[in-house]
Amino acid sequence: MCGISSDQFDRFSRQVLEQRNAGDLGLAVVAHPIGGIPASVARERVTAEVLEQVIQALTGPQRG
C-alpha cells in the first residue's frame, strides 16, 4: 500500500499513520498543493522520485 501526501502535511500524515498503527505504510510526498491546481502543474509535481516511492511501496517487501 502507498499513501500520498503533500510536503506541507508530510509530518502530520505520518503522525496520523502512527496513531492508526499504520506507520509502515509507504508514503509518497509531493509538492504542496496537490488540489485545486491545473492538471499540467499536477503532472509536473509527479517527479521521478515520487514515482519511485510509489513503485517501491507497491512492489517492495511488505512491511509490518
Among 60, 8, 63, 56, CA closest to 34: 8
- Residue pair 49/22 in contact by the 8 Å Cβ criterion: no
pLDDT one-digit tens code per residue, 8-53: 999 999 999 999 998 888 888 999 998 899 999 999 999 999 999 8
pTM above 0.85, yes or no: no
pLDDT one-digit tens code per residue, 54-64: 898 888 776 55
E strand or H helix at 13, and its extent? Answer: helix 10-19
What is the phi-psi region of residue 18: left when phi exceeds 0, alpha when psi lies from -120 to 50, beta otherwise? alpha
